[in-house]
Amino acid sequence: MTENNQTSEELETENSTVTADTAAADSVEGETEVIAEDEQSIEPEKDEKDIEIEELKKKLSDEEDRRLRILADLDNARRRATLDKEAMQKYRAQEVLTNLIPVLDNFHRGLSVKAESDDAKSLLTGMEMIYRSLEDALKSEGLKEIEAAGTEFDPNFHQAVMTDSDDNYDSGSVLEVLQKGYTLKDRVLRPAMVKVNE
């Protein structure tokens, strides 16, 4: 009887152990299902977050590119403004000098006249003094006469209006200056009108 009691007790213990194991297994399965459901619900959120992060990164990259382009445009505008200011300063007297070139031409013509009387000679001397003063003032502003006579013809500085043939000069040499040309620093205000050797 004692053995039967022991066996019954053992059976009951085993049954309760099996029941506990089954309950534990059911609990684990339920937790696994819940975890699997949680993972499925987390994954779409993760995908949406990844998409949102990618979009934000793209927007940030676009804004950075835009900022760099604006900075480059601003830098270019500053550089252009500086160059324009320098050019304006460098050639500030261009209009005045261009208007005074015909005055120099008239002085040349007047000074080429031969004076015979004393009055004419003194007038010519006064004109020469005025001409020298004007020429010095214009040179101080950057006006320079283009060297032409005896040089090689250069279409950047000379305007050929006549041709002639002279064996003493090379072909393409300037034989005579018909009208003086002038530059303001490195800019041609008026090319020299010249006669060129064929």
Asked whether residue 135 falls in the same domain as residue 193, the answer is yes
Contact 146, 174 (CB under 8 A): no
CATH number of the domain bearing residue 176: 2.30.22.10
Domain that holds residue 76: 13-90
pLDDT in tens, 116-149: 888 888 998 999 999 999 999 999 988 999 988 8
- Predicted pLDDT at 56: 92
Note whether 19 and 61 are same-domain residues: yes
Phi, psi (deg, nearest 5) at residue 121? -65, -40
CB atoms within 10 A of CB 62: 10
Domain boundary among 90, 110, 145: 90
pLDDT value of position 91: 81
DSSP 109-136: HHHTSPP-SHHHHHHHHHHHHHHHHHHH
Write out the chain's pLDDT in tens, 198 residues: 444 445 555 555 555 555 555 555 455 455 555 455 555 555 555 688 888 899 999 999 999 999 999 999 999 999 999 999 988 888 888 889 999 999 999 998 888 888 888 888 899 899 999 999 999 999 998 899 998 888 899 999 999 999 988 888 888 889 999 999 999 988 999 999 999 988
Work out the burial of residue 138: count CB atoms within 10 Å of its CB; fewer than 13 is exposed, 13-18 middle, 19 or more buried: buried
| CB within 8 Å of 56: residues ≥ 6 apart | none
- Structural domain ending residue among the three candidates 46, 62, 90: 90
144 closest CA partner among 186, 105, 193, 182: 182
Q: Do residues 147 and 121 both lie within one domain? A: yes
Q: Helix (H, G, I), strand (E, B), or coil: what is residue 6?
A: helix
Q: Residue 2 domain-assigned?
A: no
Do 78 and 96 share a domain, yes or no? no
Q: With CA atoms as reference, report the closest residue to 127 among 142, 144, 113.
A: 113
Model-level pTM?
A: 0.58
Distances (CA, A) of 92 to 22, 86, 106, 157, 191: 102, 10, 24, 21, 20
